[in-house]
């Protein structure tokens, strides 16, 4: 039986573990001792190749869908340095743009004077404010909003 499995594996170019011998035709299989005999049994369907086990894509599909929603991006999922994910320059650009946008809206609505705007703009350009929240806190603490 081992001989037949080995020969069938060689013919089908697979592992002997993936060779399936039909249990009802074992006598016929044991009589086959040459490669030509094995080939005829393969053509008849007495000896078959078991399909390789693949990897399911369902879990991958689900995680991809979740990532599109913005999930699964916590500390444990991150590979690479912080700078590799978002460069310092891009982070700086984003924060400064937000601060400038807020200052522009405050100036247009006449909540702050042009002089105050100029002062805050310069400070934000110099990197004085850590975030948009820090800018808002600074404005409120110093009562810079005129109503």
Beta-carbon-side half-sphere exposure of residue 131 (alpha carbons within 13 Å): 3
Per-domain boundaries in the chain? 2-49, 83-141
The answer, yes or no, to whether residue 46 has pLDDT greater than 80, is: yes
CA gyration radius for the chain? 36
CATH class given for the domain over 83-141 = mainly alpha
Domain range 2-49, CATH class = mainly alpha
pLDDT on residue 146? 86
- Calculate the alpha carbon distances from 71 to 59, 61, 80 in Å: 15, 14, 18
pLDDT in tens, 61-110: 999 999 999 999 999 999 999 999 999 999 999 999 999 999 999 999 99
pLDDT in tens, 103-140: 999 999 999 999 999 999 999 999 999 999 999 999 99
Q: Is 7 exposed, middle or buried (0-12, 13-18, 19+ CB in 10 A)?
A: buried
Element (H, E) at 133: helix 132-141
Q: Would 2-49 and 83-141 be classified into the same CATH topology? A: no
Global pTM value: 0.55
Mean pLDDT of the chain: 96
């Amino acid at each position: 039986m081992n001989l037949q499995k080995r020969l069938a594996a060689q013919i089908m170019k697979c592992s002997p573990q993936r060779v399936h011998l039909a249990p009802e035709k074992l006598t016929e299989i044991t009589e086959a001792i040459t490669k030509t005999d094995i080939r005829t049994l393969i053509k008849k369907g007495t000896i078959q190749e078991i399909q390789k086990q693949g990897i399911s894509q369902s879990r991958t599909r689900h995680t991809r869908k979740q990532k599109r929603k913005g999930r699964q991006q916590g500390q444990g999922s991150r590979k690479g340095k912080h700078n590799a994910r978002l460069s310092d320059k891009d982070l700086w650009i984003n924060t400064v743009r937000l601060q400038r946008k807020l200052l522009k809206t405050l100036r247009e609505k006449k909540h702050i004077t042009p002089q105050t705007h100029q002062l805050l703009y310069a400070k934000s350009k110099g990197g004085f404010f850590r975030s948009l929240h820090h800018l808002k806190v600074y404005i409120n603490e110093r009562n810079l909003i005129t109503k």
